[in-house]
Amino acid sequence: MSSELITDSVDSPQSQPKTGILLVNLGTPDAPTTAAVKRYLTQFLQDRRVVDLNPLVWSFILKGIILPRRAPRVAKLYHEVWMEEGSPLLVYSRRQQQALAARMPQTPVELAMTYGSPSVKQALDRLQSQNIKRLIVLPLYPQYSCSTTAAVWDALSAELSNRRDLPEISFIRDYAEHPAYIAALARSVQASFERNGKPDLLLFSYHGIPQRYANEGDDYPQRCEATTRGVVAALGLNPSQYKMTYQSRFGREVWLQPYTDETMRLLPSQGVKSIQVICPGFSSDCLETIEEIEQQNRAFFLENGGERYQYIPALNDSADHIDLFQALVTERGL
């Protein structure tokens, strides 16, 4: 057999392992009801990547105190932000999946949630039914954290541990400094400046984690700082024109600081009367951006003397965002 025939056989598309893409986000309740929220929060808050307290003590606190009080209140908040197609996080994540699949019609693209539906199992079933032998996993968290990205790894590993046929895995840890990500964020901020005028301050609000996690080795704060530096450099801002904070703390433990809500109350007294807020840690708008940032923190700022407040939406399913996803998976050999 000639060397030319051997080369053609090895390089033919049919001989290459079929690759699939798995997008994974955190999760959301199936409905804006107390029962659905309780099911979701139980799964979410029992993950030791999220809360690593003594399991017996934590289970008592969670089921006996937190869920009975928190689930009805959170359900009401979800009801206020619920879209016709469902929870915002699921709606935007699904649109991202569909947009990426349209860009890459020869490559199966599935969506999973670490908690709730669609589950990692359901997504893997669909991929493996298409004879996937190589899998690119893209957690939809721009900045790595043990409480988010690592939880995706755990969920994937647990599900694959029950399967005979394992695909080759390419796992994208994060994309905090990726040029396409930084450029997309900078363009979204610049567009907001052009629509609404340049504010006294651009505030970067990231989801918080317990300070202890960072002390124990989670490099999430450094990854957030890297994103902020990239966007600030792209926009040419000086130190007085931006600030970085952390939101969504839970429980009594000290979390990463400064806290977004406390900062919002203080800024007007420091001469900041107009502010625009971006949340670069969220790939999709969700309860934490729509209700907590766009509504709750707007009230904190305006009630304490602020005059103009603008939330800059997440990148969601914008063309820039899908460009980024396509670049990330293509760089992994697609």
Give me the pLDDT at residue 147, please. 97
Which tens digits make up the pLDDT trace of 227-245? 999 999 999 999 999 999 9
Q: Which stretch of DSSP H or E encloses residue 122?
A: helix 120-128
CATH number of the 14-175+319-330 domain: 3.40.50.1400
Same fold across 14-175+319-330 and 179-312: yes
Cβ atoms of 143 and 219 closer than 8 Å: no
Q: Which CATH architecture has domain 179-312?
A: 3-Layer(aba) Sandwich (3.40)
Which tens digits make up the pLDDT trace of 64-77? 999 999 999 999 99
* pLDDT band at residue 16 under the 50/70/90 scheme: low
List the strands of the sheet with 19-27, edge to edge: 109-115, 19-27, 134-139, 168-171
Q: Which residues are annotated as a binding site for Fe(2+)?
A: 207, 288
Domain ranges of the chain: 14-175+319-330, 179-312
Q: Which residues are annotated as a binding site?
A: 207, 288
Give me the pLDDT at residue 217, please. 98
* pLDDT band at residue 334 under the 50/70/90 scheme: confident
The number of residues in the chain equals: 334
Answering whether pTM is above 0.75, one says: yes
Mean pLDDT value across the chain: 95
The whole-angstrom separation of Cα 319 and Cα 184 is 9
* pLDDT band at residue 2 under the 50/70/90 scheme: very low
DSSP-derived secondary structure letter, 252: S
